[in-house]
Structure 1
Amino acid sequence: MANRRASITDLAKALNLSASTISRALADHNDVSEATKERVRQAAQELNYRPNQLAAALRRGQSKTLGVLVPHITGNFFPHVVHGIATEASKSGYNVLICQSDEDVRQEKKNIDLFMNAQVEGILVSLANTTQDFTHFNDVKDQRLPLVFFDRIIEGFQGPNVSAVVLNDYLGAYQAVSHLIEQGCTRIAIFSGPLHVNINKNRYQGYLDALQAHGLPLRREYVSHHADINLKSGTQAMRKLLKLPQRPDAVFASNDLAIVGAMQVAKEQGLRVPEDMALIGFSNEAFTELTEPTLTSVDQRSEQMGRTAVRLLLKLLNRPATAAPLKPVVLEPKLIIRESSVRLPANR
């Protein structure tokens, strides 16, 4: 018995008391004698009894738990978002149940089912990059369970129990590419993820519009889209670029890992960064300050995103079913300029 948690039933058997008496004694009810309470407390300690807080909460009609689903917990961005979520949830007395989809829509669907079966009070989710069928979220919406998307969202998916928090990815990309142009770059490549994902689509549009605004043509051979944008895809894309008759003089990637891969290849080929090839990433991962040269990147306000997502969800918990949908919250990006993109002496 001492090797596992005892239940109220175990205590009742050990003390020859009813389960209801044990429960009232543990709750310090006045109708139980002090002597009995002391016997129960001593037995609980000896038998390693711990109350099931979740079961008690469910009996009250509340689990005080939020489900959090992310594509992965590697890198800097999602761990910081989750930290913001957990911190903000704790302030309001909520626990978080964290799952990852591993960028797999099938696992995403399983995790949503898990959350609903666990009777969480709300779900916060960032989509897998393979998600194009959203019917599993219709079930959440139909059950009026508060649902907040963050970062990767379903655009146009609305309901009285649905909201979202995103970064202005378009602006982040526009600022990054404009900065490269201001540094004298005229042949700018982009490494992007799949365009059915909102963040990639918006960053790509920011890239296109920045080129157009500065009178630069779009060169299709400089555009690379990848199912999974990471170190490997950045390395592969850079090798292809350097085989072109006219290589680009800058690369913007919608992921910091991809731009690190690009930097490694550039150095292998004897190119100087930023003199021969200026580089900018997206996310402001911790390692961007440790590379040589340090990497310019777009900060995604990760922890702020997590905190904002929880605040939105708590608003949804307390809104009537007939209320109008809450508008998505759009956070402003910040371009962190470091050595990898600064080519003009006046800006060094």
Structure 2
Amino acid sequence: MKKQKATIHDIAEKLEITASTVSRALNNHPRISEATKKKVLKVAKQLNYQPNHIASALRSGKSRLIGVIVPTANRNFFSSVIRGIEEIANNLDYKIVISQSYDEFEKEAQTVETLLNARVDGVIASIGKTTENFEHFEKIIQKGIPLVLFDRVSNDLEVSQVVIDDFLGAYQTVEHLIKNGARRIVHFTSSQRINIYKERKRGYEEALKDHGIELDPDLIINSKMQLEDGRQMTEELLKNGVKFDAIFSSSDYSIMGAMQVLKEHGFKIPQDVKLAGFGNEPFTSFTEPAITTVDQKSIPMGKITAETFFELLNNDKPDPVAKRTILKPELIIRGSSS
């Protein structure tokens, strides 16, 4: 037989007190004596009592849980954003539930449903690359639950957003490559439905235009932006005899793949080809040469995202105005480009 979970009634029976007293003691109610609280906590530990957050949320209307959806948690950028969110949330006695979409639409939609069923007080999310339908996010909005998007956002959703100026970061990077002699600059990008890639591509194009360099569509290549994609795209460029003297990637991972292939083919960096990425992943400072990249201010982004969320949570207005916060990126110039 499956062992039944302990309840507050089990604790109450053992201590010969009421269930309501147990409940108040577990919630640190000021009217319950410290001696009673200690006895309740001791018995709760003995019985391995686990609070039912959903039942508690139904009673109080607050779960003190925030759902956080990221494409993947093993990237330094997303883990740092999560750290920033958690710092603010923990200070306000809130906990976060982290879910990964793995850039899969179905997984993202299912996660939203799970979080809503868990009665979270709100959702913070970064949209997956394959997401084209936003009905699952619309469902959050319709329920009147706070939703804040960060980094990968969509203009199709009227919600608060926290992003960096991807256009500026890309523009400054490409301008830096041009000022260091580059003229045939390849751009690695991804789905233009995702705002970050759209804006970084726009920054790339505008920098070329402002410096009198004609745009060559053949130098713009789409992929999933992983390390292996960077390797494959660079191999194809070399195989097809495409002339280029620099690569600007919207991802540090794909620029790392490019660096590996170029070295394998005997290219000198930055003398033959200059390289620049985006994201300031830790490994970019350990390569030889170190990789020029754009810092996305991940921890400040996480903190501001959380602060924006709590502003919404504490806003009594029926239709709060969506707030868009844009952080300034920082170009970090290293040996791969100059």
Give 2:294's match in structure 1, choosing from 284, 294, 298.
298
What does residue 279 of structure 1 align with?
Answer: 275
User: 1:235·1:258 contact (CA, 8 Å) conserved in 2?
Assistant: yes
The structural deviation recorded for 1:17 is 5.5
Question: Once the two structures are aligned, what percentage of the paired residues are identical?
Answer: 43
1:151 to 1:240, Cα distance in 2 relative to 1, 3 A: same
TM-score (norm 1): 0.88
User: 1:84·1:305 contact (CA, 8 Å) conserved in 2?
Assistant: yes
Q: Does 1:206 align with 2:206?
A: no
2: distance between equivalents of 1:185 and 1:145?
49
User: 1:65·1:120 contact (CA, 8 Å) conserved in 2?
Assistant: yes
User: 2:312·2:320 contact (CA, 8 Å) conserved in 1?
Assistant: no
Q: Does 1:176 align with 2:173?
A: yes
- Structure label with greater radius of gyration: 1
Q: Does 1:135 align with 2:131?
A: no
What does residue 227 of structure 2 align with?
Answer: 231
One-letter amino acid of the counterpart of residue 311, structure 2: K
Q: How does 1:18-167 map to 2 (within 5 A)?
A: 18-20=18-20, 22-23=22-23, 43-49=43-49, 55-56=55-56, 58-158=58-158, 162-167=159-164
User: 1:282·1:298 contact (CA, 8 Å) conserved in 2?
Assistant: yes
1:154 to 1:55, Cα distance in 2 relative to 1, 3 A: same
1: distance between equivalents of 2:213 and 2:35?
85
1: distance between equivalents of 2:121 and 2:175?
43
What does residue 220 of structure 1 align with?
Answer: 217
The structural deviation recorded for 1:321 is 3.2
User: 2:54·2:119 contact (CA, 8 Å) conserved in 1?
Assistant: no
2: distance between equivalents of 1:301 and 1:153?
16
2: distance between equivalents of 1:111 and 1:246?
43
User: 1:66·1:97 contact (CA, 8 Å) conserved in 2?
Assistant: yes
The structural deviation recorded for 1:43 is 4.0
1: distance between equivalents of 2:129 and 2:68?
16
1: distance between equivalents of 2:180 and 2:30?
77
What does residue 345 of structure 1 align with?
Answer: none
The structural deviation recorded for 1:35 is 9.5
1:29 to 1:138, Cα distance in 2 relative to 1, 3 A: closer
| 1:256-281 residue CA offsets vs partner (Å, 9 max, x unmatched) | 01000000010011000000000000
| 1:286-314 residue CA offsets vs partner (Å, 9 max, x unmatched) | 00110000000011111111111111111
2: distance between equivalents of 1:117 and 1:20?
26
1:113 to 1:54, Cα distance in 2 relative to 1, 3 A: closer
Q: Does 1:259 align with 2:255?
A: yes
Segments of structure 2 that go 5 or more residues without pairing to the other structure are none
2: distance between equivalents of 1:30 and 1:171?
53
2: distance between equivalents of 1:266 and 1:41?
62
TM-score (norm 2): 0.91
What does residue 189 of structure 2 align with?
Answer: 192
One-letter amino acid of the counterpart of residue 164, structure 2: L
- Aligned residue pairs: how many? 336
Segments of structure 1 that go 5 or more residues without pairing to the other structure are 343-348
What does residue 10 of structure 1 align with?
Answer: 10
1:13 to 1:99, Cα distance in 2 relative to 1, 3 A: same
The structural deviation recorded for 1:12 is 3.8
The structural deviation recorded for 1:9 is 2.4
| 1:158-196 residue CA offsets vs partner (Å, 9 max, x unmatched) | 1xxx20001111111111100000001111001101111
Q: Does 1:268 align with 2:268?
A: no
1: distance between equivalents of 2:228 and 2:145?
39
2: distance between equivalents of 1:36 and 1:245?
79
The structural deviation recorded for 1:326 is 3.0
User: 1:4·1:48 contact (CA, 8 Å) conserved in 2?
Assistant: no
